[in-house]
Amino acid sequence: MQAMARSHPNIALIKYWGKRDTTKNLPAVDSLSLTLGGLWTKMKIDLSLNLDRDELIINGVIDEPNLLRVSQCLDLVIGKNRKFAKIISECNFPISAGLASSSSSFSALVVAANAAMKKESNTQLLAAQAGTISGSAARSILGGIVELNNISNTIRIKQLSNATRWPLSVVIAITDKNKKNISSSQAMNLSSRSSPFYSAWIKNQSPDMKEARLAVKNKDFDKLAAVSEHNCLKMHSVMWTTKPSVVYWNAATLNCMHAIRDLQQIGEPVFFTMDAGPQIKAVCLPENETRIIKRLTEIDGVVSIMKSGLGEAPTSSADL
Ligand code: PMV
């Protein structure tokens, strides 16, 4: 009746933006991501307390805004006739700020709930459960470099490279620690209804996936860099042309992008990606990490820097 799980967030290089089914929360496009070993969420669940409602504590503070989604996730994994739970979540990075905290949180919650109920769920079922609550969370069920595919009325995840086969580093420049104004779910639904670029975005995803998959297979950094930046900028173009416009960047985000472009000019293997938030993720090789950190630290508006290598799949322990 109790369990704990620890899971890592992931950042997409080939992004998911838009849903093909809002009820089942199925993504409109395939995606490809890096699981970030240096960042984590620990999720503890206790179903033995005879509570009269679910209780959620995030980083030591009682949380109401996220409780509904957490309860829905538990209903899905355990069933609606379940006991109420106390859920304690701890995270070593800012939440709801475009650092994919929903991916580590909901993958950890799904794994913890399955462990508490002693359910032997396979990887694909865990991914489907996590993905029903947060599309990106499905990819955190595996470590390394992960691909998510749409299969008729569900999804399938696949590990393309484990955490050690091609060790990549990710330097994260935090440019704003505040929560974002609009959630990715709300924003992508608006995009699909109003951006004139949305249909082109959907149509062009599969060539990007093909190129990125091949780059991972061949450990071709330059090819992965080119397709990842292109895909990221296409997603943000869809956001910018949404009505009303969705702009997650700030001035420091743009300054970091320029700094990364300058580093590329002098032959540094590095590329950027941004999600639904103003933080910049610079993907590089481990031997270049120190130089990238140094350059991004100098930029006005960069509040702090985090770094991460690739991480493993979630872990759990039952009967605490
Ligand atoms: O899973 P959500 O609802 O947090 O949406 C994630 C969307 C992006 O992070 C912007 C892209 C992605 O593929 O992770």
CATH of the domain at 296: 3.30.70.890
Mutate to test the pocket of ligand 1, among 11, 16, 41 (most ligand atoms within 8 A of CB): 16
Please, which residues have CB within 8 angstroms of residue 8's CB and are 6 or more apart in sequence?
Answer: 35, 36, 37, 39, 40, 41, 104, 140, 143, 311, 312, 314
The phi and psi torsions of 199 (rounded to 5 degrees) equal -70, -35
Q: Are residues 218 and 87 in the same domain?
A: no
Q: Are residues 226 and 290 in the same domain?
A: yes
Determine the distance separating the centroid of ligand 1 and the alpha carbon of 56, expressed in angstroms.
23
| Ligand 1 neighbour 12 (Cβ under 6 A) | yes
Bridge partners, 62 (sequence order): 57
Walk along the chain (320 residues) and give the pLDDT tens digit of each residue. 999 999 999 999 999 999 999 999 999 999 999 999 999 999 999 999 999 999 999 999 999 999 999 999 999 999 999 999 999 999 998 776 667 789 999 999 999 999 999 998 899 999 999 999 999 999 999 999 999 999 989 999 999 999 999 999 999 999 998 888 898 999 999 999 999 999 999 999 999 999 999 999 999 999 999 999 999 999 999 999 999 999 999 999 999 999 999 999 999 999 999 999 999 999 999 999 999 999 999 999 999 999 999 999 999 997 55
Query: In a 10 Å sphere around its CB, with 0-12 CB exposed, 13-18 middle and 19+ buried, how is residue 50 labelled?
Result: exposed
Which ligand 1 atom is nearest residue 10's CA?
A: 14
**How does DSSP classify residue 242?**
S
Determine the distance separating the centroid of ligand 1 and the alpha carbon of 189, expressed in angstroms.
12
Q: Are residues 151 and 267 in the same domain?
A: no
The structure's pTM equals 0.95
- In the structure encoding, which two tokens stand for residue 112, read together? 């913890």
Q: Are residues 194 and 154 in the same domain?
A: no
For residue 71, what are the domain limits? 2-165
Residue 296 lies in a domain: yes
